[in-house]
Chain A
Amino acid sequence: MTGVGSVVRRSWRSFVSQPPPRPAPAGRGREGYRLWQRVWASIINRQLPRLAATTVAPPRVPPAVRRPVAGWFGLPVVPTSGALTAAGDDRLVLEASSPDGGTLFLVRGAAADYQLEVTLLGGGDPGPLAASVRYAAVDGTEWEIVVPMPSGRVGPPAGYVTLPGFGPGSTWAARGPEPVTADPGWSDATVTLSVRAALNDATRQAWRRIGATLGGRLGGLIDEALR
């Protein structure tokens, strides 16, 4: 064989797409694609979407979320390994619904960056609504995030938040959405964390509405966090 730059070697490496050493992919063949798929992609000059393996979590027992109480329901755990997900625009890793099917919980993201979209199916706007999720982060810290439901005339109400510390294997539970009462029982830390976890204007608008509804200390806390 000639040097590394030879036409023969470059053609061969291009043909077989020999990768640098790295952990073996979970799928079959190079990066999860079969030989014929890669040959055909080469012929039609298309770049195959990269298949990424779901992050493999360290082999440990995940911390359990606090024992659920009334109104709370458990949600499926994001798998720690196994299926490949196609990395496109929408990196949806988990889709679950409330027991009554009226609320959809969509988890997006990868690695240490997960987002939660809570969609209220069926719409309606009787007043400020909020859902809550509790989960145990990989370091054992227990988190509670309140997700307010925006209102609007386009699409279903959906709050969009980030989930700090959330990861594969994290057990989690949720409740709501339910109307926000004058004393929702949220701690100050939960309120601050939840407001700052909002990921779009619609969710922040929902917080403003809740803040305006609650007023008082919590309302101020929300305004403070929104600034």
Chain B
Amino acid sequence: MSGGDAAATRAQVEALLAGSTSPQAAVRELLGERRLWWRACGEAVRVDPGWLAGERSAELREWIEATVPDSTARRSAVELPFLLGQALSAPEGLVGDHHEVLRTLRGTWEHSGLLSARSSPGDARPSGRDTGRLTPTAASGLAALVEWLRVTRGDAEPTPADNMMVIAALLLVGAEPRRRPVVTMPVVFGGSTGTGDQGEAGVTGILELSEFPAGPPGVYPDPRAMADVRSPNTQFASSVGHAWSVAGPGREGRCVLWRIVLTDRAPALLRIEGPSLGAAFALGLRELLRHPRSRRPSVAGVRALFSGPRPRTAVTGALDGGERLLKVSDMEAKLRSARRSGLRLVAPAANRIDLANAPEPDDVRFAATLGQARRYVRRYRAVRLATALSLLLAATTSGLVVQHQNATARQRLITAHRLAEVAQSLLTSDVGLAELFAVQAHRQHDDALTRRVLFEAVRASPHLASRVDAGGPVTAVGSSGSANLVLAGTGGGEIRQWELARLRPGPGRTLGRLPGPVTAVASDAWGHTVAAIDDRSAMVWREGLPAAAPTLPADSTPTAVGVSPDGRFVAVTTRGSAFEAPPTLRVLDRDTGDTRGLDLPDMFSPLDSVAFSSSTEVVLLNGGYSNWVRVRPESMTRAAGGGIGLRNDNKGWAISPDGSHYTYSDKGSPLPVWRTTGEPDPDKPARQAQVPEGLPAAVALSSDARAAAVAIGSTLHVSRTAQTTQTLAEPVSLPGAGKVSPGGLAFLGHGEYDLVSASGSVLTMWDLRQYSRVATARLAAIPRSCNACPEPSVSVSPDGRAAAVVSGNGDTIVVQDLAGTAPGRVARPQDERLGAAMWRPDSSGVVVGLPDGSARLFTPDGEEDLRATDFWGPLPDPLELPDSVELLQPLPDGRQVAELDKSGTVLIRDATTGNVFRTVPGPEDRAPTIRGSGYLPGSWRAVDQQAAHAAIINYNLEDDTTTVVVTTVATGRTRVLAGDDAAGIAYAGDRLLIQRDEGELEIWAADGSRRVGQLKGTPGTAVGPAVGDGLLAQRPGADDSVRIIEYPSGDVLATLPLAANSKAFSTGLAFSADGRTLVTATEGHQSVNGWGVLVAWQLDPAAWVRAACASAGADLTAQQWRQYLDTEPPADLRCAM
């Protein structure tokens, strides 16, 4: 302890006296709860014994004794610490005058009437616990006191007063009672308590019990508070002794201090008499001694948290030496004082008669024994218990909920990734099913993997237009000649039809049902008349209603059916049941209602295909034998016939919908196509088509045999036919068609771009003109630019509906709608090099900057042109050093525009007038000269959203390096960033992204002050990064593709194809305002007047889900889930929600 700390209490005392305006208040501080006087004396014993022998302490003692009110009579409270402290700190031990003082003090306790030998079994020495930190002076004084006590009593047993002296000395030298647990018991006193007239009979107080580990065993008054209290007879001390004897076995070897504090407006407690506190002492001691001696947490401690004595229940009663409660006196006074203090009273049952007329019987409980009294006194702390239980319950529930959520989230993640794996495995075999699984995966858990797989699924087999469930295995497909209707016959005999709108089927409709599996179905040109056959019968529907069907010979089997384009004739070929019975053509003339027949004995085997070349001629094909016959249905006469004869290797055949050509496959390539006219040479087909080698599941020809299609495995291969002398086009592969049914492939109508295939119960429509289900592609007037020119500059309108593209050499601007088929509007200004383009806020026109600082506004003019009008005037340029506009960007407030010129100069302009508010020059070495400002492709400049910073890539001709220069617009300060291989830059929010040649994508603070991260990019990127909604797009220079990276995670989302081009800077990239549509503009490949390609990709997972569900045509079934995942499916497997 330091000297400064040593006098801390004394300093408090002096400060109190110096600042006090009321000696009475100061005395209360010294002798009251703060016990400053006691602490000051104890402090002196421990660290500054000289103070106790000095004048100041004596002066203070006298002053306190003189000032203390008579009513409190705290003389002993003043003398005890002072005199005992002097004795303990005597320099030569307890000698001289101190002997007499100690005898006096001991005598004071002996005559206090508070001590009982029964409750003071100690041996007048410290217990040895909690005395380890005593100072040497204090320990020495304490030892001397114990020795003095031993010597002075001689052979006699230690007295309770001896124990009290030890306790007082221990407290004075620094030993402390435990702060917890402290038991408090409300108590009541009758009228004889206290001194003098109290005004009201009876007072209430609090009995406080605390353990004093350092003291000798027993229960003793706390000398710091009870030194002046006296009891005139032995009744009180006996009652304490009885209480100690019934306090339980836990009392052995333990020292307890008690004190009583009056809570009424009563003078200080000076006198206690009578045995009525015995019950309160007993209950309090039991409560206290339930706690273990050690300070470790215990069950008793936990129990004490939730149950204990009621703070507002007082107990009174004497003990009979055991646990029975004896009658006490002054019950009425006690009851009145209890009521006055709001206490409930527990009284001995023997006093019941005294309180028979108590006004509020509920205020009193009568107990015959200590046990009964204890039940009344103790209580469960309901609020605390409820709070604890609530907290426990809440914590447990929260834990369970969190655990459940975590487990659910983990399970969803696992399931999502398994679904993604399944989707990926199905991409080449069944795209529709893959889409359904990908949607479910994304719905289970949205992360980089499920997004990537979903995007992959909706991009797979890009010509797949839609799918529809026929409700049963499809055994025959057909369509109307105008392709407005698709037909399917099922193994269950159902004939269903769907109207098509841009190859999207509407609701299906069942026309009727045949007895057996449908083997063929046909329609007229517009779908008004539909005919279908099974192996027994034929049926006809007109306008969706059953109509007269051709009559067929008994025992004949229909083999093929056809309907004339005008719907007048329905032709059915049959074969007879008899051996060598010739094939027969039966034709129903719907005008007359007659069915006529024509035997065709030269066709050798059953006819299997019927195609009307016109309404007056029908072509019948025997595919197996590869011969054909033309019949005029009106006259039922043969018009022509021919064939190439039996082909043993014939694995599949088809006739074109107009009957003009037919083909067969021998698993080889190319696929031969013959006309159904004249006499074909078996070795010289009229046309042929390039298809892969393999066993076809189905073969189809388009009208006039312009295209042929084969289904091999789960992939369709479609190829344009060509004469044998021409170069054959490579086939277009349509993977993911599923296992195509025999005969389950056909061109829709008379076109060669749309097909229908059947796999199981699913019909799939294919559109060869479709670029992707999540992208549109348009040819646009984007001419090829010079090799040194940058890529085309793309700007998407604020409404996202159109894009403006300025060609790389700045001579052409085209505004192209991103949806629909409207042609683009083009302008080719003469003698002007167009700079950057910026859309008007209402998407009504495009503002394009010019090198002289002026701007033109391009607005629609007619259907295919753009009108140019002046928008801003030119800026003064006395030196005639033009600086082309490389970037125009409206600021968020809409009133200003940031312009970045080729020299790196930043101008802040008025959006309407073009007035320049601020000009911030770029790097000095880029200042305009008569030779211009150097090379600056589109991905070499960027301005952040607020136009607070601008960045350019500066090419250093001397050492062939590129560095990034960042300009802070507010200060005009430029900063050259480290690194010499920058390939592209862009701002993403408040971050500057720098694409390095080696592939790293660095993330910098917007002002270029520090690098904050790095992503793995694409080495050799020529264009980009372009920034979208959490996405980056970049184009590798050596590859015709665009790489999409998620930002800021850096996960690769997809690599998208681009139109082929050999020039590095040939494709411009731009995102729409919402960042969810990426527009790529690739300039023409062949010539300066050629057409480029404008592609708009939807990069929004919600759009992908919509596209997947629209094309899948059905929901995932529980059976499919179980088949691929082998787990129980969720209740809701709907695709579109």
* A interface with B by C-beta (< 8 Å): 4-5, 7, 10-12, 14-15, 17, 19-22, 31, 39, 42-43, 45, 47, 50, 52, 87, 89-92, 104, 106, 108, 110-113, 115, 117, 119, 121, 150, 152-156, 158, 160, 199-202, 205
Contact = CB atoms under 8 A, between A and B. Distances in A.
B1074 interface: no
B859 to A, nearest CB: 70
Given A21-B360, A42-B384, A47-B184, A90 B24 contact: yes
Given A10-B379, A43-B383, A119-B23, A89 B66 contact: no
Given A52-B265, A155-B17, A200-B70, A90 B25 contact: yes
B22 A106 contact: yes
Given A45-B381, A89-B32, A104 B67 contact: no
B362 interface: yes
A155 B383 contact: no
Interface in B307-323: 308, 310-312
Contacts of B380: 7, 11
Contacts of A155: 17, 20, 23, 26, 63, 67
Contacts of A19: 342
A201 B66 contact: yes
Contacts of B311: 45, 47
Contacts of A160: 23-24, 67, 69
B17 A113 contact: no
A15 to B, nearest CB: 6
A105 to B, nearest CB: 11
A153 B379 CA distance: 53
8 contacts: A45-B311, A50-B341, A90-B28, A111-B199, A153-B59, A154-B59, A155-B26, A200-B66
Nearest to B24: A117
B265 A110 contact: yes
B66 to A, nearest CB: 4
Contacts of A22: 339
A21 B360 CA distance: 9
Interface in B261-286: 263, 265
Quick one: which of B32, B60, B206, B312 has the most chain A CB within 10 A?
Answer: B312
B381 A20 contact: no
A121 to B, nearest CB: 6
Contact of A108 (B21, B24, B381): B24
A62 B362 CA distance: 41
B363 interface: yes
A135 B1117 CA distance: 101
Interface of B: 17, 20-26, 28, 32-33, 59-60, 63, 65-71, 184, 199, 206, 263, 265, 308, 310-312, 339, 341-342, 360, 362-363, 365, 376, 379-384, 387
A112 B66 CA distance: 25
B427 to A, nearest CB: 64
B1011 to A, nearest CB: 54
B1106 to A, nearest CB: 55
A89 B199 contact: no
A155 B15 CA distance: 11
A112 B200 CA distance: 11
A12 B360 CA distance: 18
Quick one: which of B23, B339, B363, B380 has the most chain A CB within 10 A?
Answer: B23
Quick one: which of B22, B310, B365 has the most chain A CB within 10 A?
Answer: B22
Given A19-B342, A43-B387, A91-B265, A202 B381 contact: no
A68 to B, nearest CB: 25
Given A5-B365, A104-B22, A154-B17, 13 more contacts: A12-B382, A19-B342, A20-B342, A43-B383, A47-B311, A89-B32, A90-B25, A112-B199, A152-B63, A154-B59, A154-B60, A156-B20, A200-B68
A130 to B, nearest CB: 17
A14 B28 contact: no
A68 B312 CA distance: 50
B22 A117 contact: yes
Contacts of B360: 20-21
Given A47-B184, A89-B32, A112-B199, A106 B67 contact: no
A42 B382 CA distance: 9
B314 to A, nearest CB: 12
Given A20-B339, A21-B360, A199-B70, A87 B63 contact: no
